[in-house]
């Protein structure tokens, strides 16, 4: 399968210079539905299918990590019916994924505060992540009830609590007087996950929307007017081609 995709795209992007980690802000479901005079929930259904297709394509071409922004901490402000539909889609997707994980061998990890989700969703997430431990290969990270500012505050509070709890222990040197970036990163949801090389934002919006603020310090951004439900393999190819044109200097010359 990989050889097929490699051959198919050899004139488009260089297979030896693929981004190891792609992150996507899945935006535009509501506008996609509105353009078609359909309810917003129809856009989320179409967007879920796009996610499934793009994740499969990333696996087939050799992407190591795919992180998607599925539901933000701010999305709770949406109408209750829309939130219920999104959670229902997630539950359906997880049931299907668990059935197919042995075949597809895709690792899944959830980033965000899942403690306020339904008990059923929490159980499905735990089961999915437990099964994932057996697999190597592509890892799909789903940001759910995620907000980068909340993530950073959580990391700061974790460090502060650890320092406070060990303030009288001379043996504890987990957090020295000066906190390093490495120590801080270990307290993020993305601990042990490399920073994204490429962040894609469909739908024409040009903002980061509280997504991976710490992790994206040197990521390359790609914006497209294509709404997320219309995003496909060819659109991802365009983003990869643009990424490979960039000169990543990480602050150097």
Question: CA 24, CA 228: separation in Å to the nearest integer?
Answer: 10
197 belongs to the catalytic site? no
Catalytic residue among 9, 16, 27, 192: 27
Within 10 angstroms of residue 238's Cβ, the number of other Cβ atoms is 15
Token pair of 184 as six digits: 């801080």
Catalytic residue among 75, 158, 166, 210: 75
Task: Report how far apart the first and last C-alpha atoms of the chain are (Å, whole number).
Answer: 39
CB 70 within 8 A of CB 145: no
Q: Would you call 71 helix, strand, or coil by DSSP? A: strand
List Cβ neighbours of 75 (8 Å cut-off, separation of 6 or more): 83, 86
List Cβ neighbours of 174 (8 Å cut-off, separation of 6 or more): 162, 166, 183
75 belongs to the catalytic site? yes
DSSP state of 39: -
Token pair of 29 as six digits: 């479901």
CB-count burial class (<10 Å; 0-12, 13-18, 19+) for 239: buried
- Of the candidates 81, 88, 68, the residue with the CA atom closest to the CA atom of residue 199: 68
What ranges in the chain are assigned the alpha helix state H?
A: 2-8, 29-35, 40-61, 80-104, 119-132, 148-165, 181-185, 233-245
Which residues are tagged catalytic? 27, 75
């Amino acid at each position: 399968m990989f050889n097929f995709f490699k051959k198919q795209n050899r004139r488009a992007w260089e297979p030896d210079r693929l981004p190891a980690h792609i992150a996507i802000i899945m935006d535009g479901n509501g506008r996609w539905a509105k353009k078609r005079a359909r309810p917003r929930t129809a856009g989320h259904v179409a967007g879920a299918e796009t996610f499934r297709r793009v994740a499969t394509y990333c696996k087939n071409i050799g992407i190591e990590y795919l992180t998607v922004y599925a539901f933000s901490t701010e999305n709770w402000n949406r109408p209750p019916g829309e939130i219920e539909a999104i959670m229902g889609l997630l539950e359906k997707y997880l049931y299907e994924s668990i059935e197919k994980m042995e075949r597809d061998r895709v690792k899944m990890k959830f980033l965000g505060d899942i403690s306020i989700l339904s008990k059923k969703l929490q159980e499905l997430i735990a089961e999915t992540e437990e099964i994932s431990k057996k697999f190597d290969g592509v890892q799909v990270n789903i940001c759910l009830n995620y907000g980068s500012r909340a993530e950073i505050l959580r990391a700061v509070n974790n460090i502060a609590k650890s320092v406070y709890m060990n303030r009288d222990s001379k043996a504890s040197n987990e957090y020295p007087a000066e906190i390093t970036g490495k120590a801080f990163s270990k307290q993020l949801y993305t601990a042990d996950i490399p920073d994204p090389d490429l962040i894609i934002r469909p739908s024409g919006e040009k903002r980061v929307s509280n997504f991976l603020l710490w992790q994206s310090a040197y990521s390359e951004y790609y914006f497209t007017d294509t709404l997320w439900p219309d995003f496909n393999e060819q659109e991802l190819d365009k983003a990869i081609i643009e990424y490979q044109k960039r000169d990543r200097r990480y602050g150097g010359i």
